Chains A and B, each alone.
Chain A
């Protein structure tokens, strides 16, 4: 068990070191996220069409597009110079490669959320002070499911050198339950002042559990092709 965890940290550490040294991926996805919020802010916020808790929907759009780009970039690192071949030769369980990529993606997404969320809060006059912990908790649970699916399909797209844009097409319909549930929860908490229902959060947790388990199992097959 300790050995497994150390392998995951070793692989994720390698990825995060590459990202920290180049800072290319983080810069790209953070700026993309901010740009999306600004464009939607100009279109919706400036006309006061969307205000307050509506910012959560705008933030979701930013998270989704930044996330897809993040998943693509972190997997592309392995395709350059055929680094994946070396990784596959390493004497470790191949599903640990999936977990390490997931950890890397989650770390990068958390960093992007720390940049993009204050921008959305600012532009849409969203009063987060009512329940900041609930907001962070819902987004964190949703991001785990999003990254679980995104990391799996990034490996699929990367392994097949498919056309650009296909990853977004594969991930967005799958992650619709996350968007629906989390925006409903935000509306209940920030607009209606209600408490979070455990059964509703259960849908998010079920999504995370199902797709973490499935991705863990099928990741090795995806790498084979």
Chain B
């Protein structure tokens, strides 16, 4: 089992990095430059797949939170935590790439456009999830509180989206892409999704291991003292 894992994990990450390199090369060399926005449009190939994968990570947080509240198994909590970390990291990339694009396209780093506002709200929701986890010391309480927050935060996502849509929009709605652009975008989805999935799984196993290491009862100390032990001590 360990041997298979030792082979599979490096192969998985090598394939992900290789596909990333191929996608970058394709974007820089082969994909045509967009007529209106110029070379900065190429950031879109990273921006969209990362945004979609952010939602997937948020969905995993929600499913794991519901699973924890339903079954009270610790591994659900570890999965939710792993996915929330990835969601925040991916959402940070979405915000950063969105702002870089905005600066080039609209001349300013930030505008209160619906999609930028939505990304910011999503980022805030899941950063708070991580802070809540750090603020609770008791493991049992932390698991329940973060599961409740994980459920509420995810249910809030469509409402934030609906409300942000009321704001005036300058964000491109639907982008018409040339076939070469579509192919490049499709290729970008593969390494980004592999990375999202891989990061969640890697962090999940890390959290499991931390839990198993720290949860092991310290022998002798936590055991109630036996009457006979007094004699042994004497």
Residues of chain A touching chain B, judged by Cβ–Cβ distance below 8 Å, are: 149, 152-153, 156, 159-160, 162-163, 166, 169-170, 173-174, 176-178, 180-181, 184, 200, 203, 206-207, 210-211, 214, 218, 221-222, 224-225
Do B162 and A149 have beta carbons less than 8 Å apart?
A: no
Note all chain B residues with C-beta closer than 8 A to A152: 148, 152
Instruction: Please count how many residues in chain B sit with their CB below 8 Å of the partner chain's CB atoms.
Output: 29
Do B121 and A176 have beta carbons less than 8 Å apart?
A: yes
Within the assembled complex, what's the spacing in Å between the Cα atoms of A206 and B163? Answer: 11
CB neighbors of A among B141-177 (8 A): 141, 144-145, 148-149, 151-153, 155-156, 159-160, 162-164, 166-167
Do A173 and B159 have beta carbons less than 8 Å apart?
A: no
Tell yes or no: B131 within 8 A of A by CB: yes
Report the minimal beta-carbon distance from B107 to chain A, rounded to whole angstroms.
Answer: 23
Tell yes or no: B210 within 8 A of A by CB: no
Within the assembled complex, what's the spacing in Å between the Cα atoms of A160 and B140? Answer: 11
Query: Assuming A162-B136, A176-B121, is B128 touching A211 (CB within 8 A)?
Result: no
Note all chain B residues with C-beta closer than 8 A to A218: 69, 148, 151
Given A156-B145, A225-B141, A225-B144: 5 more A-B contacts, CB < 8 Å: A174-B152, A180-B160, A206-B159, A221-B148, A222-B145
Within the assembled complex, what's the spacing in Å between the Cα atoms of A160 and B88? Answer: 25
Do A222 and B153 have beta carbons less than 8 Å apart?
A: no
Q: A-facing mask of B119-141, CB < 8 A → 1, else 0?
A: 00100110010011001101011
Do A203 and B159 have beta carbons less than 8 Å apart?
A: yes
Report the minimal beta-carbon distance from B37 to chain A, rounded to whole angstroms.
Answer: 28
Do A162 and B135 have beta carbons less than 8 Å apart?
A: yes
Q: A-facing mask of B166-190, CB < 8 A → 1, else 0?
A: 1100000000000000000000000
Within the assembled complex, what's the spacing in Å between the Cα atoms of A162 and B117? Answer: 29
Report the minimal beta-carbon distance from B152 to chain A, rounded to whole angstroms.
Answer: 6
Within the assembled complex, what's the spacing in Å between the Cα atoms of A169 and B126? Answer: 11
A-B contact pairs, 7 of them (CB 8 A): A174-B156, A177-B163, A180-B167, A184-B166, A206-B159, A207-B159, A214-B152
Within the assembled complex, what's the spacing in Å between the Cα atoms of A180 and B117? Answer: 10
- SS class of chain B's interface: helix, strand, loop or mixed? helix
Residue of A153, A166, A177, A218 with most chain B CB atoms under a 10 A cut-off? A177
Report the minimal beta-carbon distance from A172 to chain B, rounded to whole angstroms.
Answer: 8
Note all chain B residues with C-beta closer than 8 A to A181: 163, 166
Report the minimal beta-carbon distance from A204 to chain B, rounded to whole angstroms.
Answer: 9
Report the minimal beta-carbon distance from B121 to chain A, rounded to whole angstroms.
Answer: 5
Query: Assuming A180-B166, A211-B155, is B125 touching A173 (CB within 8 A)?
Result: yes
Note all chain B residues with C-beta closer than 8 A to A221: 69, 144, 148
Query: Assuming A160-B141, A214-B152, A218-B148, is B163 touching A203 (CB within 8 A)?
Result: yes
Do B156 and A177 have beta carbons less than 8 Å apart?
A: yes
Report the minimal beta-carbon distance from B42 to chain A, rounded to whole angstroms.
Answer: 31
* Complex partner residue of B160 from A177, A210, A214, CB under 8 angstroms: A177
Do B69 and A200 have beta carbons less than 8 Å apart?
A: no
Report the minimal beta-carbon distance from B15 to chain A, rounded to whole angstroms.
Answer: 36
Do B148 and A176 have beta carbons less than 8 Å apart?
A: no
Nearest 3 A-B pairs (CB), nearest first?
A: A177-B163, A180-B163, A177-B159
Report the minimal beta-carbon distance from A141 to chain B, rounded to whole angstroms.
Answer: 13
Note all chain A residues with C-beta closer than 8 A to B141: 159-160, 225
Note all chain B residues with C-beta closer than 8 A to A160: 136, 138, 141, 145
Within the assembled complex, what's the spacing in Å between the Cα atoms of A177 and B156? Answer: 8
Do B153 and A174 have beta carbons less than 8 Å apart?
A: yes
Report the minimal beta-carbon distance from A53 to chain B, rounded to whole angstroms.
Answer: 15
Within the assembled complex, what's the spacing in Å between the Cα atoms of A160 and B144? Answer: 11
Note all chain A residues with C-beta closer than 8 A to B152: 149, 152, 174, 211, 214
Residue of B117, B128, B145, B155 with most chain A CB atoms under a 10 A cut-off? B145
Do B135 and A166 have beta carbons less than 8 Å apart?
A: yes
Do A170 and B166 have beta carbons less than 8 Å apart?
A: no
Residue of A156, A162, A180, A206 with most chain B CB atoms under a 10 A cut-off? A180
Within the assembled complex, what's the spacing in Å between the Cα atoms of A211 and B124? Answer: 19
Note all chain B residues with C-beta closer than 8 A to A162: 135-136
Note all chain A residues with C-beta closer than 8 A to B149: 153, 156, 170
